[in-house]
Structure 1
Amino acid sequence: MKPESEVVKPHDLLIKKFFVFACLLILVLASAFMVVLQVYSYRQDYSGYNDVIREKESLNAEWGRLLIEKETFGATAQIGTRAVTQLRMYSPPATQTIVISLANAKDQKQ
């Protein structure tokens, strides 16, 4: 016969099974909750990624338009035409033109 301390009572066995079942159930629920959090986080990150990609495409399109505009406004003939038409700039006549020669200025100082 076994001593009384080694005898497993059916009530103790039932409590151990319930405890193991409860622990496993808690672990399964925690695992499911973590999966839900990971999927939510992934969807938020993916949405942010799509927003950044859309902004990148928009900026690339704007950059292309700005390059075309730069080339258009950078033409010398257009600059001269716009200076005359929009800013009312003109070349002064010969009577209003003064020529300063640096070589003559050096000779006068010596």
Structure 2
Amino acid sequence: MKTDVIEKKAQKVALKKPISYAILLLLVFSSAIMVVFQVFEYRHDYRELSAFTRDRDDLNAEWGRLLIEQQTFGATAQIGTRAVTQLRMYSPPAAQTVVISLPMTSEDQK
């Protein structure tokens, strides 16, 4: 009788070992798959971040060019105003304007 009980316990232990190994193996594989998925998401997000950073840098460069252009146009009006007020410069009337044109060569006519 005792031998039957011992044999049943041995059979249960023998059956529990492969099941627990299978469960642990399944957990290890699922963990590995999740690691691969997380690395994929990280690389995707990093690529997207790099694209946004490039866009930001391009927009900052364009903003700088626009500021320089704005300052240039503002300076042109200021220069014109100072030329008239301080140096008493003016645009000559049409009667005092002379237009000089160069003779056309055979290459210019083509």
Which band: TM-score by shorter chain?
Answer: 0.5 to 0.7
1:29-108 equivalences under 5 Å are 29-75=29-75, 76-77=77-78
Q: Which moved more, 1:10-19 or 1:46-55?
A: 10-19
More helix as a share of residues = 2
TM-score of the aligned structures, taking structure 1 as reference length = 0.62
Q: Which consecutive residues of structure 1, in runs of 5 or more, have no partner in the other structure?
A: 81-89, 91-110
Q: Distance in 2 between matches of 1:21 and 1:4?
A: 26
SS in 1 for 2:67: helix
Identity level (%):
46
TM-score of the aligned structures, taking structure 2 as reference length = 0.62
Q: Which consecutive residues of structure 2, in runs of 5 or more, have no partner in the other structure?
A: 82-90, 92-110
Q: Distance in 2 between matches of 1:45 and 1:32?
A: 20
Runs ≥4 in structure 1, deviation > 6 angstroms? none
Q: Residue 105 of structure 1 corresponds to which residue in structure 2?
A: none
The structural deviation recorded for 1:15 is 1.5
Task: Say how many residue pairs are matched.
Answer: 80
Cα RMSD over matched residues? 2.4
